[in-house]
Amino acid sequence: MRGGMGNMQGMMKQMQKMQKQMMADQEALNQSEFSATSASDMVTVTFTGDKKLKDIQIKPEAIDPDDPDMLQDLIIEAVNSAMADIDKETQSKMGKYSRGLGM
């Protein structure tokens, strides 16, 4: 019975350590920047790992008063590309924790 108690404490320590590491990794991910560019480099967006838009650059030639849809499409393309990169990186960095916790 006694051995069971120590084992439980060890498991709790392990969990706390994992939780600390998980929070540190999440923080590092949130601080990371992800940039993505639309076709022909007309629009470039930069997001943080927690999906906040930090910067957007639009080349003057992308701004065509006769074709506002083109600019919208370029922005959507760049944003979606950045989001996909963030999701992929989040999965590769944080996925091990959900597997470790049996989620």
pLDDT in tens, 14-63: 999 999 999 999 999 999 999 999 989 999 999 999 999 999 999 999 99
Under 8 Å between Cβ of 50 and 30: yes
Q: Mean pLDDT over residues 61-72, rounded?
A: 94
- pLDDT beyond 60 at 3: no
pTM of the model: 0.82
Using CA atoms, how far apart are residues 96 and 34, in angstroms rounded to an integer? 21
Please report the pLDDT score of residue 98 as a whole number: 78
Q: What domains does the chain contain, in order, with CATH numbers?
A: 3-100 (3.30.1310.10)
Reading the block at residue 94, the tokens are 């944080």
